[in-house]
Amino acid sequence: MKAGRELSADNLVDSLFLANPHPALPSVLRSSAKPQALAPVGVVETTSVASALLAADAGCKAAPVELAAVRLAVGMAGKSYVIYSGELANVEASVAAGAEVAKAHDKLVETVILANPDPLVDSFLT
C-alpha cells in the first residue's frame, strides 16, 4: 500500500485497506439484487470507489440493513454509490455512518433516504 501510494503520488484519487470487511460486502460486489419493493432505502454517493466501499462497510456495521447495491465508478466518471435497504431507523443509521466515513475522506457527494419509495422508483435503484 505504501509503495503504491508513493508511486501514484499526485495521481492518487483515494485508497483503501479494509482488513475486516462486513460479510455482505464481497457478496454484493459479485451480484447485486434489488432492494425489497417499497422498503425504505438509503443512498450514499461518493467521488471514489475506495470511499464507497468504506461507506458500504461502515453502514452495514452500524445497523442491520440489507446492502442492496454497490455501484463502482463504471460509466460514472469515478463516482460510486451504495444502497442500503431495511427498516427506516436502520437505514438512517447506516446512511449516517456511511456518509461520515466518506465525508472524513472528503469524498461525500450526497445522501438520500426514501422512507416510502414510489414503486416507479424501484427500476432506478440499481
Is residue 30's pLDDT more than 70? no
- What's the grid cell of residue 58? 461502515
Question: Considering the entire predicted model, what is its pTM?
Answer: 0.78
- Which of 64, 2, 62, 76 has its CA nearest to residue 39? 64
Is residue 60's pLDDT more than 90? yes
Question: What confidence score (pLDDT) does residue 40 get?
Answer: 92
Percentage above 70 pLDDT, the chain: 87
Which domains are delineated in the chain? 22-124 (3.30.70.1710)
pLDDT digits (tens, 9 = 90+) for 67-113: 988 888 876 677 999 999 999 999 999 999 999 999 999 999 999 99
Residue 67: how many other CB atoms lie within 10 Å? 25
Q: Indicate the pLDDT class of residue 118, thresholds 50, 70 and 90.
A: confident
